[in-house]
Structure 1
Amino acid sequence: MELEVRHLRALCAIADTGSLHKAARQLGVSQPSLTTQLRRIEHALGAELFARARGGCRPTPLGLAVLSRARPLVAQMAALVIETRAAAACPDGALLRVGSTASRALASWLRKLRQRLPGTDITLHMDVSANALLRALAAGQLDVAFVHEVEGCPLRVPEGLERHVLVEREPQFVSMALDHPAASSPVVDLADLAGDRWMVDPTVDGEWDGLRRVLDEAGIDPPILHADYHTATSLIVAGEAVAPCQPTSGPRDDMAIRPLLGDPLGVRLLLYGRPGFPAGPAVHAELVAAYREAALRARAYRQWLRCHGSPLIKAA
């Protein structure tokens, strides 16, 4: 049996809903049919991907690893369908194809672009891999790509792309359960998290290498959980793991977001485009505005920016 996109979509639905019954309803198939499909997938891979219990289905460690690779593929296929339909519906109109890694500024950026460029059909392609987005941009499949580059892990940038630096160094914060002992401090020392299980998504370019370097430099060797951040959010809330996160994250009622002492983790935020792209200046200007809004909306980050005399605060 060869895995297909529909099989990966089924695995994601089961993980998202935590139930074969709910997943079957979401996918528009019967529960027995989905159960049989899951058994065939697990048989093909030679291991259980979900632990079944009366309370529902939870991914096994191997299931988490499979999901971390399945989600980007499912998202890419969905984006392909959306973009193809959009291009077919607007063959002669202006088209702006935006690529982006995850960012809290994304929704505001798209809204501002639609207001700034009326009549332009704007499509979005998201990917956890910045390098994959840059390859798509170089291949002419995207017009712009908003990506982050983990400190110490340079991106593989194809020749001929135009680069704009949005933020030279954005500190990465840490997310943890509200009742975590370290959450009572406004700034967290890495040493206070040495006994925690750290969660990292290995499919995000540079994420694991960057975290490992920082942990090694701090002289700590905590247990690591490899999983995608969407799947692991419940683990963080339950106190089963801590994880690096963007400083623009939150606010959340069920999770604490804190800066790390000394800001050991950092990324550079970059916007790439094709040289001479007509909408380039407008795209960049609206991204700057959207990011500033997201930064000032996050209380912990706003305080960090104020303490460090950031131009984002001065420009607000």
Structure 2
Amino acid sequence: MLGVADGAELPALAQRLGLGETAVRKRLRRLCGSGANPWLRRTGTDYHLTDRGRDALGAVGEAAAAGAAVCDLVGVDVLPMRHVRVVTAVLGSGSISGAARQLGLPQPSLSAQVTRIERRFGTELFQRTPGGVSAAPALVELLPHLRLLEKALSRLSATGMPDDDPTLPCDLEVVCEFGFAGLLDALREEAMVDVQQHIVSIPGPDWAPQMLSADICVYADLPLASLAVPAGWDTAVAFEEPAYVLLPPGVGVDGETVALRELAGHDWLTGPAGSRNHRSVLAVCRAAGFAPRVRFTALNGPSGRHILQEGAAVALTGATLIPAGAPRTVRLAEDVRVKVVVGWRPGGPATTTAGWLVRWLRGQHLRRLAERRPELLAELRADPAGWPGYAQD
């Protein structure tokens, strides 16, 4: 609305909002509405404020100013309106359970949302006591702006304006090589994206067709078997970690690491022949001076898990990318690294979402390391030149 009032054309408006032009057109069409009294009117390719739109412009400006003030205070680029409603409902009721009843949500779901909002804002918003919750100092500072925002939104709601986060790009397709617990909920709650996630196998040396047809891809970049990035795509490393070896029971290892040469006499488990995992294991072992005796080629799926549980072979993995049911793991002595990469089509809503996804994956990875391998996390943070992604915040 403010962009149209300023006379911004569609490309400039899309850039101003950090969205693709298709997403902006969708929202402009919603404001044109289907009734006799819309907020915008379209003439050719241009949009103009109607009398109703001009009447609502004051509340729109107040909401935008209050939202910008909140964003500046907590250091975020986008403020989802549902976050505002959650925070004010919890504060107004004085408890998570009361706010859950008010919002019609299960209490555990609302409690998880509050935790995610606090994590996104990087600060504690509520002080929790056995009797309920109260505003923490950070929320006390935000309250004047949140109340102005609520008041402006209430005025807009009275006009019948569509209740929609203007930054919500819809129908993005994310293809992942792995499943990440909580990713879809986090995308919808924090990144404000309506996505379809597909977990696919990415076996060959090139991007799979499912990757090329998606908006965002998440995949492992394995040592000596990297995927070539297609023209027109951007990528970023979400995190990298040292390689570990899955060892069968009874295999003795002196020290905290094991050299690849020490594993030359063992049977190996890799992905299917020709897959990136298979090619990576062959290349890494040959670089160490031997050809691995690959006896099993079923790393993923029930048969691969059974082989690992039985301890019939050794296999390579990352520090946190360890399959369920795996035996004990030992770090490789060689500097062999596994990277998790995010790729996206630039220039549209996928760009913003991919950047958020990189940060989310990195944060999840740091939490897993802190829980499972705190000594490794301390080691990586002590070497910022060698491991720049692990700098202490």
Q: 1:166/1:312 Cα in 2 relative to 1: closer, same or farther (>3 Å)?
A: same
Residue 286 of structure 1 and its aligned partner are, at CA, apart by 2.0
Q: In the alignment, which residue of structure 2 is the partner of 1:267?
A: 338
| C-alpha RMSD of matched pairs (Å) | 3.2
Gaps spanning 5+ residues in structure 2: where?
Answer: 1-167
Q: Which has the higher contact order (CA 8 A, sep 6+)?
A: 1
Distance in 1 between residues matched to 2:367 and 2:337, nearest whole Å:
20
Could you tell me whether the CA contact under 8 Å between 2:244 and 2:318 is conserved in 1?
yes
Is it true that 1:144 corresponds to 2:213 in the alignment?
A: no
Residues 11-55 of structure 1 show CA distances to partners (whole Å, capped at 9, x for unaligned) of: xxxxxxxxxxxxxxxxxxxxxxxxxxxxxxxxxxxxxxxxxxxxx
Distance in 1 between residues matched to 2:259 and 2:194, nearest whole Å:
47
Q: Which has the larger radius of gyration?
A: 2
Residue 197 of structure 1 and its aligned partner are, at CA, apart by 0.3
Distance in 2 between residues matched to 1:136 and 1:172, nearest whole Å:
27
SS across alignment from 2:357: helix
Q: In the alignment, which residue of structure 1 is the partner of 2:131?
A: none
- In the superposition, the TM-score normalised over structure 2's length comes to 0.48
Residue 147 of structure 1 and its aligned partner are, at CA, apart by 1.4
Gaps spanning 5+ residues in structure 1: where?
Answer: 1-91
Residues 75-106 of structure 1 show CA distances to partners (whole Å, capped at 9, x for unaligned) of: xxxxxxxxxxxxxxxxx982231111136xx2
Residues 256-284 of structure 1 show CA distances to partners (whole Å, capped at 9, x for unaligned) of: 11110122x33333211111232333233
Amino acid of the structure 1 residue aligned with 2:392 = A
Kindly tell me the number of residue pairs found equivalent between the two proteins.
218
Could you tell me whether the CA contact under 8 Å between 2:246 and 2:326 is conserved in 1?
no
Q: 1:119/1:135 Cα in 2 relative to 1: closer, same or farther (>3 Å)?
A: closer
Aligned to 1:201, which of 271, 285, 296? 271
Could you tell me whether the CA contact under 8 Å between 2:205 and 2:225 is conserved in 1?
no
Aligned to 1:286, which of 344, 351, 360? 360
Is it true that 1:302 corresponds to 2:367 in the alignment?
A: no
Q: 1:192/1:157 Cα in 2 relative to 1: closer, same or farther (>3 Å)?
A: same
- In the superposition, the TM-score normalised over structure 1's length comes to 0.58
Q: In the alignment, which residue of structure 2 is the partner of 1:224?
A: 294
Is it true that 1:173 corresponds to 2:248 in the alignment?
A: no
Q: In the alignment, which residue of structure 2 is the partner of 1:156?
A: 228
Distance in 2 between residues matched to 1:119 and 1:150, nearest whole Å:
29
Distance in 2 between residues matched to 1:188 and 1:109, nearest whole Å:
34
Distance in 1 between residues matched to 2:325 and 2:339, nearest whole Å:
28
Could you tell me whether the CA contact under 8 Å between 2:216 and 2:342 is conserved in 1?
yes
Could you tell me whether the CA contact under 8 Å between 2:176 and 2:219 is conserved in 1?
yes
Q: In the alignment, which residue of structure 1 is the partner of 2:32?
A: none
Amino acid of the structure 2 residue aligned with 1:150 = L
Distance in 2 between residues matched to 1:228 and 1:285, nearest whole Å:
31
Could you tell me whether the CA contact under 8 Å between 1:127 and 1:133 is conserved in 2?
no
Alignment of 1:19-38 (within 5 A): none
SS across alignment from 2:230: coil
Distance in 2 between residues matched to 1:244 and 1:261, nearest whole Å:
13
Instruction: Give the percent of matched residue pairs that are identical in Structure 1 and Structure 2.
Output: 20
